[in-house]
Structures are given as structure tokens and as C-alpha cells.
């Protein structure tokens, strides 16, 4: 591809002095330019209230690149494309000035009127910004305009609907890119490839051969300095409504007729529609909420969630969720999908384990040994890869099988703060590919599933199970699987 064909646009970042911009967005844009993915002729305009100059903004950009990358050639040249425009987004008159600035930059950088408005700010501002962008003519250019929105998209279905209504006043659905950064992860994108490019899996990918699926996303860190945000969110809204349900949809969807955005999304939507809804009084039986307690990790005593900054000392906010989901369709009827996610757990890991049913008769195991099921493990982070656990003959006395893992590890530059997913997503947005962003229908269906669970918890219809910091969660989450004769497969932070 020659440079002329590279996507080009002005990226306007609302909330450009914030954490997300510094840790994820600036390094991602840098890598896209360095890797020659987007045109060298690009511009970024930062908006926030702080009265920074262009120079101050640029040095913040440079710091962010220096902190996240070992080498950083052409950094001054890169930073010179960044411009800062201080204003309060609730002030409508400032949008006119911003428009003038964008028009000037468009002339300088030849960006053809293409604009990305990236809202890296608290969601209460999303509607105001979108409306003002339209009202003051910032979206009326000769090129395209796209709106990128960070999570959380509402805190329940009514608030998400209200927000969606506000942004739809100004942007059409195909101009809206709702970020779920899990969808930018290499191995999440690979779920579809593993499923649909391998003849050996598709015939087995159903309730005749799969016993259960387990999705774990565990963090070692606690709530850190995000207590205020987290108190209003909790693990259900922060992780389950978006990332976990997106992984469920990708694992359970039917093969799309084509790999287009609309076809893939429409198959994911069908899965979300087929999730068996839970009535409030069924929640306790199927979902466990937990909260981390005191615990010792590497000989250090860590505080309980209730002792963290900006957390209520009687907080009922869940830092852990485990749940059993059922999908009522022909392919999945009767196959439980177990999910769990939490903070302050013993390992940082996101993994999917697909457990196949046992063979009908066990010829190879002596009576003392239990059967080893075949497992397909998709390692999402920090390791990236796939393991297929088979049984093979154990050398020595007698003939009996032994589990052997076939591993493929993509590893991976992935670290805690990898901007990799954001890099892919910004690139997709520049190219107008919305496949790895969430459509409104997915957001709405996810909230419909999750809302009765949060209501049941608000109405205290389920216990809050405490778990020690540094453990894999409360014992109630183990019992959830034991009731079905299943168990969580062990998760470690490295390739097994
Ligand atoms: P943050 O650090 O608090 O940054 C908020 C930004 O908004 C700052 O630049 C702030 O700058 C600006 N701002 C606040 N009020 C403003 C106003 N009235 N007018 C103009 N600018 C205003 O937040 P963040 O962590 O970057 O998160 C931003 C969004 O991304 C949130 O929706 C969050 O949920 C989401 N998100 C963040 C992360 C992450 O890793 N940080 C991950 C996933 C999603 P001034 O104070 O200078 O105005």
C-alpha cells in the first residue's frame, strides 16, 4: 500500500489530559504511524479544561511514548502533529472555535475533512459533546465523521437507552464506534478463526460434544485509586456486561455467511437473544457475587476492599462475579457456560477453557485414576495462544493414558498496559471497519441480561461472599460448578 492509500484523519480527543489518553491512545497512535499503517500526514487535537499550551501537551505526549516504549525514533516530529485546545465541553460557544481550528488543520495536513471524535471522558458528557458537534457544524465536512465512545455505555438498560438516544441525535449507528477493548485483543479476534478455519472443531462445537465452557478473567490488582468509579460500577457492570458477554457471543455464535461487520454482528446478537434470562429470584442460584477481604500476597498483607480509598466501609459492591449462563438454542441447549472475573485474585489471566464430553467408555485408565477430558484452552492474556489437551499412552507399566498438552504460544509483547488492542481499534476506526466495536443491539441485549442480576443484588437477594485477597475467589463459586458435577480448571499466569 502506498502512503496515499493510508487512512487519514484528524483525531480529536476529548479528555486529552486524562489517564486513558496518556496510557493507551498516544502510544497507539505513535505505533500506527511508526508501523506505517496510517498516513504521516495526520493531526491530533486534544481537548480538556486544563489551560495547557501546545508545548505542554506535546511534552505530555512524548512522556507517554517514552514510558511505554524502549525506543522512540522521530518523537519530536510525531509530537509536532499534536495540538491542544482548552475548553469546557459544556460550553457550546467553544465548539465553533474548535471547528475553525479543525478546518485550518485540515488544510495543513490534507486530511480531506475526515474527523474522528474520540470521547475519552466521563460518560455524562457524551450526549452534550455529540449534540454540540452536530449543532456547531463540526460533523458537516466533505469527508467522514466518526464518534468513538469509551465504556461504560450506561449503567443499566434505561440509562444506556437514554445515552444512545442522545448520541443518535447527532450520529448514525454506522458512525458510532463503541469501544470494548477486549475485541481488540489478538486472541479474542482469534476465537472466530480457531472455530471457523478448522474442520476438526466445527463438528464438535455443540451440545453433543462439549460438556461446558469456562471463561475466566482474573486480575491481581485491587481497585487501586478507582474506588469512586468502582463503587458505582462493580465487577458485573465493569466486566460482565461488556467483555465477558462479548466473549460468550464469539464462542457461541453460528458461522456468519460472510466476514462482514453486519453478518458477524447479527450472529452475535442472536446468541445474546438466546441467553436464558434470569428472574430476580433465580439469581442466587446461578450467580455469585464476591468481595475481596484481607489477604497475604508475597508475605504482604493487603487491605480488604472496604478499607480501600473512596470505598464505603459497609460497601456491598462486588469485586468478583461468577455465573452460570445457558443459551437456549439447538446448538447449546444444556451446555453451561461458566464465567468468573474478579480483582485481587491469585493470578492475572484471561483464558477460555472448552471442556469436551468424556468418551463413552474408559478403556485406558486404571481404576484409581480419574478420566482426563479433552480441553481446548484459548489463552487471551498475558500469554497468547492455544492449548489442546489430549490423552496419549503413558510409557511404562500397563497401558493407560496420560494427558498431554499441545501448545501453541504466540507470545507476545503483551504487558499489563499494552496498547496493542487500542492500536488495532483506532486503526479499524480509521479504515471504517466497525466489526470489533459493539453495535447498539448488543449493548441493549447485554444490559437486559445483566439488569435483573444487579437488581437482585440491590434488593439483597443474594449473599456477598468474601474471599481472601490473593485467592481465586470465594468457595461459593466452586460450589456453583460442583452442583453440576464440574470444577473450575486451574488457571495460571503462564502457558501450561
Ligand atoms: P480521567 O483520567 O479522569 O480523564 C478525564 C478527562 O476529561 C481529563 O482529560 C479531564 O481534563 C477531562 N475533562 C473532565 N471534565 C471536562 C470538561 N467539563 N470539559 C473538558 N474536559 C473535561 O479519565 P480516564 O481514565 O482517562 O477515562 C476516560 C474515559 O475512558 C472514561 O469514560 C473511562 O470510563 C474510560 N476508560 C478508561 C480506561 C483507563 O484505562 N483509564 C479504560 C477503559 C475505559 P481536565 O481536568 O483538564 O478538564
Q: What is the pLDDT of residues 440-461, one digit of tens each?
A: 999 999 999 999 999 999 998 7
- Give the residue with greater pLDDT, 40 vs 268: 268
Question: d(Cα 230, Cα 224) in Å, to the nearest integer?
Answer: 10
Q: Is the CB–ligand 1 distance for residue 13 below 6 Å?
A: no
Residue 3's pLDDT is 43
Mean local confidence (pLDDT), 28-55: 95
Give the DSSP H or E segment for 281: none
d(CA 37, CA 424): 10
| Averaged confidence pLDDT in the chain | 93
Q: Is the CB of 232 under 6 A from ligand 1?
A: no
CA distances to 223, 473, 477, 492 from 295, in Å: 14, 12, 18, 19
CA distances, 200 to each of 137, 194, 196, 245, 256 (Å): 53, 10, 10, 25, 18
Q: Of 360, 321, 145, 138, which is closest to residue 240 (Cα–Cα)?
A: 321
- Does residue 358's CB lie within 6 angstroms of at least one atom of ligand 1? no
Considering only CA atoms, which of 348, 336, 353 is closest in space to residue 389? 353
pLDDT of residue 365: 64
Using an 8 Å Cβ cutoff, are 288 and 488 in contact?
no
Phi-psi sector, 398: left (phi>0), alpha (psi -120 to 50), beta:
left
Angstrom distance (rounded) from CA 214 to CA 380: 13
355 forms beta bridges with 212, 375
Active site positions, annotated: 243
Partnered with residue 325 across adjacent β-strands are 337
Say what the pLDDT of residue 294 is.
96
The residue whose C-alpha atom lies closest to atom 37 belonging to ligand 1 is 20
Examine the pLDDT at 4 and tell me if it is beyond 70: no
* 460 φψ region: left (φ > 0), alpha (ψ -120 to 50), beta (else): left
Q: What is the DSSP letter of 318?
A: -
Query: What are 101-133's pLDDT values in tens digits?
Result: 999 999 999 999 999 999 999 999 999 999 999
Please classify residue 331 by burial: count the beta carbons closer than 10 Å to its beta carbon, then call 0-12 exposed, 13-18 middle and 19+ buried: middle
Name residues whose C-beta falls within 8 Å of residue 198's C-beta, 6 or more positions apart in sequence: none
Q: Is 151 annotated as a binding residue?
A: yes
* Whether pLDDT at 303 is above 70: yes
Residues 266-271, mean pLDDT to the nearest whole number: 98
Give dist(CA 390, CA 374) in Å, integer.
Answer: 5
Run of H or E residues at 170: none
Q: How many angstroms separate the CA atoms of 143 and 48, rounded?
A: 25
157: three-class secondary structure by DSSP: helix
pLDDT at 402: 78
What is the C-alpha to C-alpha distance for residues 418 and 395, in angstroms, rounded to an integer?
Answer: 43
What pLDDT is stored for residue 372 in this prediction? 87
Higher-scoring residue by pLDDT: 492, 147: 147
Q: Is the CB of 180 under 6 A from ligand 1?
A: no
Nearest CA to ligand 1 atom 30: 120
Per-residue pLDDT band at 288 (split at 50, 70, 90): very high
pLDDT at 49: 98
Residues in the chain: 496
110 conformational bin, left if phi > 0, alpha if psi -120 to 50, beta if neither:
left
Q: What is the pLDDT of residue 362?
A: 77
Amino acid at each position: 500500500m502506498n502512503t496515499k492509500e493510508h487512512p487519514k484523519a484528524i483525531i480529536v480527543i476529548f479528555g486529552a489530559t486524562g489517564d486513558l489518553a496518556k496510557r493507551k491512545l498516544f502510544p497507539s497512535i505513535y505505533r500506527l504511524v511508526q508501523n506505517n499503517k496510517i498516513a504521516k500526514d495526520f493531526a491530533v487535537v486534544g481537548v480538556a479544561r486544563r489551560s495547557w499550551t501546545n508545548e505542554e501537551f506535546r511534552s505530555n505526549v512524548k512522556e507517554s511514548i517514552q514510558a511505554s516504549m524502549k525506543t522512540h525514533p522521530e518523537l519530536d516530529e510525531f509530537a509536532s502533529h499534536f495540538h491542544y485546545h482548552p475548553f469546557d465541553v459544556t460550553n457550546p460557544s467553544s465548539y465553533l472555535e474548535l471547528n475553525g481550528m479543525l478546518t485550518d488543520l485540515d488544510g495543513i495536513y490534507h486530511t480531506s475533512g475526515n474527523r474522528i471524535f474520540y470521547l475519552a471522558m466521563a460518560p455524562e458528557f457524551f450526549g452534550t459533546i455529540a449534540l454540540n458537534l452536530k449543532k456547531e457544524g463540526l460533523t458537516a465536512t466533505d469527508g467522514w465523521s466518526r464518534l468513538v465512545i469509551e465504556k461504560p455505555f450506561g449503567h443499566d438498560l434505561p440509562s444506556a437507552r437514554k445515552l444512545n438516544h442522545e448520541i443518535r441525535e447527532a450520529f448514525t449507528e454506522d458512525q458510532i464506534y463503541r469501544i470494548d477493548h477486549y475485541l481488540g485483543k489478538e486472541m479474542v479476534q482469534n476465537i472466530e478463526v480457531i472455530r471457523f478455519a478448522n474442520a476438526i472443531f466445527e463438528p464438535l462445537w455443540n451440545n453433543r460434544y462439549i460438556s461446558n465452557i469456562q471463561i475466566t478473567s482474573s486480575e491481581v490488582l485491587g481497585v487501586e485509586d478507582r474506588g469512586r468509579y468502582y463503587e458505582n460500577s462493580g465487577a458485573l457492570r465493569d466486566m460482565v456486561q461488556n467483555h465477558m458477554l462479548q466473549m460468550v457471543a464469539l464462542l457461541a455464535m453460528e458461522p456468519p455467511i460472510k466476514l462482514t461487520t453486519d453478518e458477524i454482528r447479527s450472529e452475535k446478537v442472536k446468541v445474546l437473544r438466546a441467553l436464558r434470562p434470569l428472574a430476580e429470584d433465580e439469581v442466587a442460584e446461578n450467580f455469585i457475587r464476591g468481595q475481596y477481604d484481607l489477604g497475604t500476597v508475597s508475605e504482604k498483607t493487603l487491605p480488604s476492599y472496604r478499607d480501600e480509598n473512596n470505598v464505603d466501609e459497609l460497601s456491598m459492591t462486588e469485586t468478583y462475579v461468577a455465573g452460570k449462563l445457558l443459551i437456549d438454542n439447538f446448538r447449546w441447549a444444556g451446555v453451561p457456560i461458566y464465567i468468573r472475573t474478579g480483582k485481587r485474585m491469585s493470578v492475572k489471566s484471561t483464558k477460555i477453557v472448552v471442556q469436551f464430553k468424556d468418551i463413552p467408555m474408559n478403556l485406558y485408565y486404571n481404576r484409581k485414576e480419574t478420566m482426563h477430558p479433552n480441553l481446548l484452552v484459548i489463552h487471551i492474556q498475558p500469554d497468547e495462544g492455544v492449548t489442546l489437551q489430549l490423552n496419549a499412552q503413558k510409557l511404562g507399566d500397563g497401558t493407560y493414558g496420560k494427558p498431554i498438552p499441545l501448545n501453541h504460544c504466540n507470545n507476545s509483547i503483551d504487558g499489563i498496559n499494552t496498547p496493542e488492542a487500542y492500536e488495532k481499534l483506532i486503526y479499524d476506526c480509521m479504515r471504517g471497519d466497525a466489526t470489533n466495536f459493539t453495535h447498539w443491539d448488543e449493548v441493549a441485549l447485554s444490559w437486559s441480561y445483566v439488569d435483573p442480576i444487579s437488581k437482585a443484588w440491590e434488593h439483597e437477594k443474594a449473599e456477598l461472599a468474601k474471599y481472601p485477597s490473593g485467592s481465586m475467589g470465594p468457595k461459593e463459586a466452586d460450589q456453583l460448578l460442583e452442583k453440576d458435577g464440574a470444577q473450575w480448571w486451574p488457571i495460571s499466569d503462564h502457558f501450561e
